[in-house]
């Protein structure tokens, strides 16, 4: 028995050398890393090096097959990035990171954030005070653009995410929500406590029904879903909601969560007006972070993508600067994206058959701020407790 366990759990290593003609940098690492658990059974971890990749796994597959699959994966991902270099539009050097201890650790230690699972937390104390303060600021910005506020449910219809193309680009991020299968046997199986033990996990799935809903991955899909097949007023909409993304790897601290809060501002108008509103919103964000003396940079962005979804979308986004992101350095030196500014043009409204009041075409755009990431960036600069923050920052945020 012991020998068998050792065989089952034995860790194997694969080492790949990367062809120097391939793009092999942080962006490519991230996409490859997210895809690896789906291509290598029993994936444990990956180490990315300048000229190669080391993989630890428990798979029983032949090394040659694993290496061939991973080489093909790397080639596809690297090729799709070939012309999509990040461009920096604006940068600002604020305070050096003053926290001498990771604010994430301080927040955990005194219970202001409490983990309740993988990549999800309960918030209280001054972390919550700061989260609400930033949210109010963005909400006020939306109101200053004559925005209306909406309140959304937790899930989005699976069909909506199919129509929007979300599932074809990000199948690995989806949390499918399924009820019990419609039969008495499934109910009795699911109500038995031991069915959820590790041993029976696969069997449990057979007693679930069709996942007709998916935990919402963004705020704006709710907004589009509510306007499907309608003639709508042009203008601005804002909402705060939870977003959910299954992250197969790299769930750590507040940098990457599976459930997080996002405030979005969504714009429906002609394409120039949408861009003008997005520019104004970006300008405001730049102003806010500069006032807080937080370092940041505004960069061109591409949606991260999964395995073999198209590189065309990425190249198109970059060529037309349709997506910009604002990044902040956090404790430890990583730059994380805390907000994005997206001009969808007619790509989403067409899928949802949304027209303006007179039945003419309309376009859309959205800006979204991941509040936990924004806060982690600000806490990394200003200190892990509000008592450390300069009074000017608190006055600005009305804390
Ligand atoms: Zn959005």
Three-state secondary structure call for residue 201: helix
Q: Identify the bridge partners of residue 123 per DSSP, sorted by sequence position.
A: 113
Q: Which residues contact 349 (CB under 8 A, 6 or more apart)?
A: 224, 268, 355, 361, 362, 363, 364
Q: Which residues contact 92 (CB under 8 A, 6 or more apart)?
A: 286, 289, 290, 294, 295, 296, 297
How far, in Å, is the centroid of ligand 1 from the Cα of 23?
29
Per residue in 316-362, pLDDT (tens digit) is 555 557 889 999 999 998 999 999 999 999 989 999 999 999 999 99
pLDDT of 116 reads 95
How far, in Å, is the centroid of ligand 1 from the Cα of 222?
9
How far, in Å, is the centroid of ligand 1 from the Cα of 367?
6
pLDDT of 310 reads 46
Number of helical (H) and strand (E) elements in the chain, helices listed first: 15, 18
How far, in Å, is the centroid of ligand 1 from the Cα of 243?
11
pLDDT grade for 30, boundaries at 50, 70 and 90: confident
Contact between 140 and 183 under an 8 Å Cβ cutoff? The reply is no
Q: What stretches of the chain adopt beta strand conformation (E)? A: 12-17, 43-49, 52-57, 88-92, 113-117, 120-123, 148-149, 155-157, 176-177, 213-215, 231-232, 235-244, 259-269, 296-300, 323-329, 335-345, 355-356, 363-370
Three-state secondary structure call for residue 62: coil
How far, in Å, is the centroid of ligand 1 from the Cα of 113?
26
How far, in Å, is the centroid of ligand 1 from the Cα of 301?
14
pLDDT of 198 reads 60
Per residue in 159-195, pLDDT (tens digit) is 999 988 889 888 889 999 999 999 998 888 888 766 6
Angle CA 110–393–341, to nearest 5: 95
How far, in Å, is the centroid of ligand 1 from the Cα of 316?
18
How far, in Å, is the centroid of ligand 1 from the Cα of 385?
31
pLDDT grade for 6, boundaries at 50, 70 and 90: very low
Residues surrounding ion ligand 1 at CB below 5 Å: 218, 220, 366
């Amino acid at each position: 028995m012991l020998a068998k366990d050792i065989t089952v759990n034995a860790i194997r290593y694969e080492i790949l050398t990367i062809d120097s003609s391939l793009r092999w940098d942080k962006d490519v690492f991230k996409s490859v890393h997210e895809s690896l658990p789906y291509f290598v059974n029993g994936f444990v971890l990956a180490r990315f090096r300048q000229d190669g990749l080391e993989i630890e796994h428990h798979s029983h597959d032949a090394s040659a097959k694993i290496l061939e699959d991973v080489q093909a994966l790397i080639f596809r991902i690297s090729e799709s990035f070939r012309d999509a270099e990040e461009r920096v539009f604006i940068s600002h050097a604020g305070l050096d990171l003053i926290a001498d201890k990771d604010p994430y650790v301080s927040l955990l230690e005194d219970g202001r954030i409490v983990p309740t699972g993988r990549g999800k937390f309960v918030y209280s104390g001054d972390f919550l005070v700061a989260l609400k303060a930033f949210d109010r600021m963005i909400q006020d910005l939306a109101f200053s653009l004559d925005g209306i506020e909406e309140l959304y449910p937790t899930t989005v219809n699976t069909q909506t995410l199919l129509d929007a193309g979300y599932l074809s680009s990000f199948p690995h991020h989806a949390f499918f929500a399924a009820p019990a299968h419609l039969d008495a046997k499934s109910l009795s199986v699911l109500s038995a406590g031991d069915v959820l033990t590790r041993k029976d996990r696969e069997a449990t799935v057979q007693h679930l029904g069709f996942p007709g809903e998916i935990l919402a991955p963004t705020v704006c899909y709710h907004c589009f879903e509510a306007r499907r097949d309608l003639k709508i007023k042009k203008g601005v909409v804002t909402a705060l909601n939870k977003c959910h993304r299954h992250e197969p790897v790299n769930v750590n601290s507040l940098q990457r969560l599976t459930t997080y809060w996002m405030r979005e501002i969504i714009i429906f108008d002609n394409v120039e007006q949408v861009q003008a509103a997005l520019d104004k919103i970006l300008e405001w964000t730049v102003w806010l972070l500069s006032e807080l003396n937080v370092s940041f940079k505004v960069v061109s962005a591409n949606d991260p993508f999964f395995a073999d979804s198209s590189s065309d979308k990425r190249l198109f986004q970059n060529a037309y600067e349709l997506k910009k992101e604002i990044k902040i350095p956090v404790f430890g030196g990583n730059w994380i994206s805390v907000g994005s500014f997206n001009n969808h043009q007619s790509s989403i409204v067409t899928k949802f058959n949304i027209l303006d009041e007179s039945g003419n075409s309309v376009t859309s755009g959205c800006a979204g701020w991941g509040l936990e990431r924004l806060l982690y960036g600000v806490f990394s600069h200003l200190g892990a407790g509000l008592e450390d923050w300069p009074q000017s920052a608190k006055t600005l945020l009305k804390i």
